[in-house]
Amino acid sequence: MRRSLLNLKCLGFSPETVISDRSPLYSKTIAEVWPEAKHQLCVFHVISDINALVLDAAREVRWELKPKRIKEGKGRPSQRTQARVKKLKEQKAQADKLFPACS
């Protein structure tokens, strides 16, 4: 990276602003080669990182809200099983509100 930037500098290229992604290679090298140039992060990469974080959080919430299956036994369900079924139905309703099925 340093060699490429120095080659550009030798060719007479001296930018006012340099835009890059968040790689740690760039900031030091840019400041070294063009100390007067401003260094700015690429908007596309910043938005991409934010979208990835939001989607990860939504995926985690969806996974937590996903109702678990209860193994049905023979005979009449116990009060404990009935309570779990009720709770899971509430979780499913909550998940359906947040993540409606696409039709």
pTM listed for this prediction = 0.51
State how far the Cα of 48 lies from the Cα of 5, in Å rounded to an integer. 26
Percent of the chain with pLDDT over 90: 33
| pLDDT tens digits, one per residue of 49-94 | 999 999 999 888 888 777 667 667 777 878 888 888 888 888 888 8
Q: How many domains in the chain? A: 1
| pLDDT tens digits, one per residue of 60-72 | 888 877 766 766 7
The parent domain of residue 66 ranges over 2-98
| pLDDT tens digits, one per residue of 17-42 | 999 887 888 888 999 999 999 999 89
What kind and span of H or E run contains 95? helix 79-98
Count Cβ atoms below 10 Å from residue 68 Cβ, excluding itself: 8
User: What's the burial of 91, exposed, middle or buried (CB within 10 Å: 0-12/13-18/19+)?
Assistant: middle
Question: Is residue 103 a part of any domain in this protein?
Answer: no
State how far the Cα of 103 lies from the Cα of 85, in Å rounded to an integer. 27
Question: Is residue 94 a part of any domain in this protein?
Answer: yes
Question: Is residue 79 a part of any domain in this protein?
Answer: yes
Question: Is residue 55 a part of any domain in this protein?
Answer: yes
